[in-house]
Amino acid sequence: MSKEDNDNGVKEMLTKIRNWGYVFVDGTPYDDPEATKALLERIAFIRVTHYGGFYDFTPNLAMADTAYTNLALAAHTDTTYFSDPAGLQAFHLLSHQPAPDANPDDAVASGGKSLLVDGYRAAFVLKARNPKAFHILSTVGLQWQANGNEGISISPYKLFPVIELGDNGELHRIRWNNDDRGAVPFGQAFSPTEWYEAAREWDKIIRSKEAERWVQLEPGKTLIFDNWRVLHGRSAFSGIRRICGGYINRDDYISRWKNTMRRPRAPKPQLDQ
């Protein structure tokens, strides 16, 4: 879809996210990250976290070793350590070039494909294949945490399960990030051993070929996805990537979407004088 400068474009974009979990917005200018920021702000204000708000990130050449061998990231959801994890997340690859001081023989900019996994679909598959595992992952609450940054110690106000369901069993939210997950607690209806068995089943599903969708991000193509539903990751890459993006709160995204679906109010009838 093209970025349109009216609410029909926002409506189409958000409806695709509601239906499919993600959208690609083609034609986003990439010479200036401000255009991507403006695109996100058409939805709602950008959420600020301890990492900042809108970000525009280029690997620091002082850490060129890691920039040359940027590692793969397995599928996960972001900000599992908030009581209210980010609703939407956006990535826009502004450029991908060989590192300037790389050996000419190795001067390549390759890899870095993005991975998307529909967590709702994975939950349905788990429920059909292994109802006990689904029950465990949707009922056993876990600690989630962010402690990696100096002065930061964030965890939700209560334990949350991997799969959160509504009162009628409908899927609401997936929380999955091994790096942010605390110990699996004792004293719940299922033991940590049973939880890990269930988690292994889940892991198998989200790593299966049928679950994975790999896409190559390109300058001009902004990816926006539902962080409550879609897990993301990436393959390893070489070269220097400049990526910008940000988070938007779930409630603000849904509010915006609902309002774009409303018909404009009919003009008030004019009374003859």
Q: State in angstroms the smallest separation of the CB of 270 from Fe ion.
A: 54
Residue 49 vs 139, nearer CB to Fe ion? 49
In whole angstroms, give the CA distance from residue 14 to residue 250. 12
Give the binding range for Fe ion (CB under 5 A) out of 23-31, 76-84, 155-163, 209-217: 76-84
Type and span of the H or E element at 256: helix 250-261
Q: H helices of 70-221, where?
A: 119-129, 131-139, 192-206
Sequence letter at residue 12: E
In whole angstroms, give the CA distance from residue 160 to residue 249. 18
Give the binding range for Fe ion (CB under 5 A) out of 51-59, 62-70, 77-85, 255-263: 77-85
Residue with tokens 């939407």: 88
Residue nearest to Fe ion (CB): 78
The structure tokens listed for 81 are 């350590």
Interface with Fe ion (CB under 5 A), residue total: 1
Give the binding range for Fe ion (CB under 5 A) out of 17-25, 44-52, 71-79, 106-114: 71-79
Residue 118 touching Fe ion (CB under 5 A): no
Type and span of the H or E element at 167: none
Q: State in angstroms the smallest separation of the CB of 13 from Fe ion.
A: 21
Q: State in angstroms the smallest separation of the CB of 79 from Fe ion.
A: 9
Residue with tokens 């209806």: 189
- Output the 3-class SS for 18-85: HHHCEEEEECCCCCCCHHHHHHHHCCCCCECECCECCEEECCCHHHHHHHHCECCEEEECCCCCCCCC
What mask, x for binding Fe ion by CB under 5 A, covers residues 78 to 97? x-------------------
Give the binding range for Fe ion (CB under 5 A) out of 63-71, 75-83, 134-142, 211-219: 75-83
Residue 33 vs 85, nearer CB to Fe ion? 85
In whole angstroms, give the CA distance from residue 109 to residue 163. 37
Residue 79 vs 238, nearer CB to Fe ion? 79
Residue 44 vs 78, nearer CB to Fe ion? 78
Residue 49 vs 191, nearer CB to Fe ion? 49
Q: State in angstroms the smallest separation of the CB of 155 from Fe ion.
A: 18
Tally the C-alpha atoms within 13 A of residue 138's C-alpha that lie toward its C-beta: 22
The total of other beta-carbon atoms located within 10 Å of residue 138's CB is 19
Residue 20 vs 55, nearer CB to Fe ion? 55
What mask, x for binding Fe ion by CB under 5 A, covers residues 28 to 67? ----------------------------------------
Residue 178 vs 255, nearer CB to Fe ion? 178
Residue 74 vs 254, nearer CB to Fe ion? 74
Sequence letter at residue 68: Y
Interface contacts to Fe ion, rule CB under 5 A: 78
